[in-house]
Amino acid sequence: MGRDLRGKFFLIVCVTALLVACSDEEGTGNEGELDAGDSPDVVQQEDADSAIEDADSGEEDAEPGEEDADPGEDDATTDDAGTGEDTGEEPELHFGSCFDEPPEGVELAPEPKPFSQGECPELEPGFNTLEYTDPDCLGGEWNPMCDDDWEREFMLVVPEDLEPDEHLPVIFLWHWLGGSADSFYERGEIQKAVDTQRFLAVIPEEKGDLQFRWPYSREVELDMERVDEEAEFFDDMLSCVADQYYVNNNCVSSAGVSAGALWTVQLVMQRGEYLSSFLSLSGGVGEESEELLDIETILPWTGSEKDVPGIVLWGGESDWCIVDFHEASLRLEDELVDDGHFFVECIHNCEHAEPPIEAEDDLSRYAGLWEFVFDHPYWVSGGTSPYQEEGLPESVPDWCGVGPGSATIREGECEPHSCQ
């Protein structure tokens, strides 16, 4: 019987070899036709092969099975690495600090736009001036649509012991309704902040032509050119600072208080592709409205070209000063959630007043806010954050939380304040 079985096996091998030879001669393009047209003979041949292998070499079956398992494991590893699932490698590559070298393969920030007026003036720590000429006024002929030339001022704050090779983040700071660049500099302890945490601060001064200081209200809705002008002012400040200092383009942030926060959110919509993060301190967005003009209503959210992580902070349900900042902040959070932006929520109990944050160690009062900026360089995007895995750093107030509805409203006394 064993000799007969071997004879049958030899016959099957020969037939199989003949079939394979015919298949090779017909070409690989006919392999599918060969499979479809060979039953039932091919099926019988495969069954015989299987029976012989089971009878004569049961252990040998396990070895090809083990060899087949290896490619499968390799494929799974490749898939995990490609999608970031399970291995966690992809999110880790996108985290880091503004003071780190960017990981390979991540999206980097674009270079600042060129200065709109040609050559930048020489900048120095303190107040600087950018001069603008209305394009309608060029050519020397009087034009009834021609406005006067104008100037824009901003304060540049530089570490007192700045080293020539320091590659520093830049944070823009937009002041509140009754404030100024000077008052933001003093009350925000900005010189101490840049000295201890190493960044450049740019504090714009309002132009002085708007009732609410910055172009975020329906006061400008019918003429969005004023919004474009303010966004261009941001472009020009960044361009000139980067022209004369070693700026980290992957760490450009915008922070504002009250009126400045309302504008900061508008700037995220206008220039989100240049921003790595934002801080809204009693800010927000307005509702969609069909009314032509309501100066007490702020402009709505219209989206950003990039997911920009941020802090949304306000003073609770009674945070009101012309604008209902409680409702405006909640609307902003809803829009950020819908568009996939990561944010930290902070709610204190001091209404429309300075955030009641105490300084720690030898740092400035708002060190935790600046640390958020440094922890979210440009390549941290797609709604992700290191805080989702590591939790909030100690410098961030314990009444803050990650995401909407996460804050524990602060308890404690508040300093006297007035609407401003």
Looking at the whole model, is its pTM more than 0.85?
A: no
Residue 332 within a domain: yes
Residue 265 within a domain: yes
| pLDDT for the residue 339 | 96
Tell which wins on pLDDT, 134 or 283. 283
Secondary structure (DSSP) of 194-205: HHHHT-EEEEEP
Tell which wins on pLDDT, 47 or 282. 282
Closest to 121 (Cα-Cα) out of 244, 14, 18: 244
| pLDDT for the residue 416 | 82
Average pLDDT over residues 35-64: 41
How many domains does the chain divide into?
A: 1
Residue 45 within a domain: no
In this prediction, what percent of the chain has a pLDDT beyond 90?
Answer: 62
If you average pLDDT over every residue of the chain, what do you get? Answer: 80
Q: Give the model confidence (pLDDT) of 70-85 as tens digits.
A: 433 333 333 333 333 3
| pLDDT for the residue 345 | 98
Residue 4 within a domain: no
| pLDDT for the residue 199 | 98
Closest to 216 (Cα-Cα) out of 280, 312, 310, 160: 280
Angle at 327 between CA 322 and CA 330, to 5 degrees: 140
| pLDDT for the residue 37 | 37
- The confidence band for 44, taking pLDDT boundaries of 50, 70 and 90, is very low
| pLDDT for the residue 72 | 38
Residue 131 within a domain: yes
Rounded Cα gap, residues 117 and 205, in angstroms: 19
Q: For residue 104, what are the contacts with CB-CB under 8 A and spacing of at least 6?
A: none
- The domain in which residue 345 lies consists of 95-402
3 pLDDT more than 90: no
Which CATH number belongs to the domain containing residue 352 in this structure?
3.40.50.1820
- For 75, what's the count of Cα atoms within 13 Å in the CB-facing half-sphere? 5
Q: Give the model confidence (pLDDT) of 200-253 as tens digits.
A: 999 999 999 998 999 998 777 667 889 999 999 999 999 999 999 999 999 999
- The confidence band for 51, taking pLDDT boundaries of 50, 70 and 90, is very low
Distance of CA 406 to CAs 84, 371, 402, Å? 26, 20, 6
Rounded Cα gap, residues 417 and 415, in angstroms: 6
- The confidence band for 334, taking pLDDT boundaries of 50, 70 and 90, is very high
Q: Give the model confidence (pLDDT) of 120-152 as tens digits.
A: 999 999 999 999 987 666 555 555 556 668 999
| pLDDT for the residue 82 | 31
Residue 408 within a domain: no
CA dihedral sign, ordered 38, 40, 46, 52: negative
197 pLDDT more than 50: yes
| pLDDT for the residue 180 | 97
Residue 64 within a domain: no
21 pLDDT more than 50: no
End-to-end CA distance of the chain: 104
Average pLDDT over residues 344-356: 96
Rounded Cα gap, residues 23 and 134, in angstroms: 79
Tell which wins on pLDDT, 9 or 240. 240
The secondary structure of residue 257, as a DSSP letter, is E
Q: CB-based burial of residue 113 (10 Å sphere; 0-12 exposed, 13-18 middle, 19+ buried)?
A: middle
Residue 55 within a domain: no
| pLDDT for the residue 381 | 74
Closest to 20 (Cα-Cα) out of 252, 386, 12, 113: 12
H/E segment holding residue 70: helix 58-83
| pLDDT for the residue 145 | 56
Tell which wins on pLDDT, 372 or 53. 372
| pLDDT for the residue 221 | 64
